[in-house]
């Protein structure tokens, strides 16, 4: 890629342009953080009120599958970081390969998550869209509330992952050899997407810890 830096008319220099892009992404992630914070906060309150029932319901989740998915998503964070580093080094072909690896890992994560949802649907543990909730534990009402939170948290996270995968697909296309590529812009786009993907990783760690690990 060329070292040409295209500066928009409302910026004084390339550094200001880069900082503005990063600041915009930080502000966006702050709003996303507030969204998830409200959801986690509500879950924490009801977890405190119905600790025994929530712990019992959490035992119906597939911890081994979720653990595998956690490892997959954290690995995708590594491949995303390697893609960023490759772009900064001017290794666009290598970066595109790391993007493909990241997308593949993200897709595998969603497939496993979809399988897990299907399993819970088959067991009657999906209280969505008027579906019957079939729970044989001692606290069915509180368990239904737990699964409401479960599908809200994992569904919202999956939606964010789909957005991230779409952004990565666009980056892969933009990285194709073309006349007069704008290297500086592509580096900024890669860095901003990397920030978003890291956010998705961190959110999943909290989802995994809240839903799957706190079983006592």
Listed residue (110, 59, 96, 70) closest to 177, CA to CA: 96
How confident is the model over 4-46, as pLDDT tens digits?
Answer: 445 544 545 445 556 666 777 889 899 999 999 999 999 999 9
Give the up-direction half-sphere exposure of residue 73: CA atoms within 13 A in the CB hemisphere.
Answer: 28
Listed residue (211, 164, 177) closest to 60, CA to CA: 211
Range 142-146 average pLDDT? 95
Q: What is the pLDDT of residue 17?
A: 58
Q: What percent of the chain has pLDDT over 90?
A: 71
Range 179-197 average pLDDT? 79
Give the chain's mean pLDDT. Answer: 88
Distance CA 146, CA 3 (A): 52
Map out the domains of the chain with their CATH numbers.
Answer: 14-213 (1.20.120.80)
Does position 181 have pLDDT exceeding 50, yes or no? no
How confident is the model over 123-143, as pLDDT tens digits?
Answer: 999 998 888 899 988 889 999
Write out the two tokens for 44.
Answer: 């924490």
């Amino acid at each position: 890629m060329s070292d040409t830096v295209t500066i928009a008319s409302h910026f004084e220099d390339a550094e200001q342009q880069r900082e503005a892009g990063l600041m915009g992404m930080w502000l966006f992630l702050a709003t996303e953080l507030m969204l998830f914070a409200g959801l986690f906060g509500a879950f924490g309150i009801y977890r405190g009120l119905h600790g025994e029932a929530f712990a019992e319901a959490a035992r119906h989740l597939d911890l081994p599958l979720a653990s595998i998915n956690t490892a997959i998503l954290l690995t995708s964070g590594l491949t995303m970081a390697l893609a960023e580093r490759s772009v900064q080094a001017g290794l666009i072909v290598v970066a595109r390969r790391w993007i493909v690896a990241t997308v593949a890992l993200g897709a595998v994560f969603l497939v496993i998550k979809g399988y897990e949802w299907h399993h819970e649907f088959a067991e009657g543990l999906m209280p969505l869209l008027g579906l019957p909730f079939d729970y044989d534990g001692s606290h069915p009402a509180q368990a239904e509330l737990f699964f409401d939170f479960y599908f809200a948290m994992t569904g919202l996270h999956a939606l964010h992952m789909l957005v991230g995968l779409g952004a990565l697909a666009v980056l892969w296309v933009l990285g194709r050899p073309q006349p007069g590529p704008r290297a500086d812009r592509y580096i900024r786009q890669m860095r901003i997407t990397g920030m978003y993907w890291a956010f998705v990783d961190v959110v999943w760690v909290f989802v995994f810890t809240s839903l799957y690990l706190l079983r006592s």
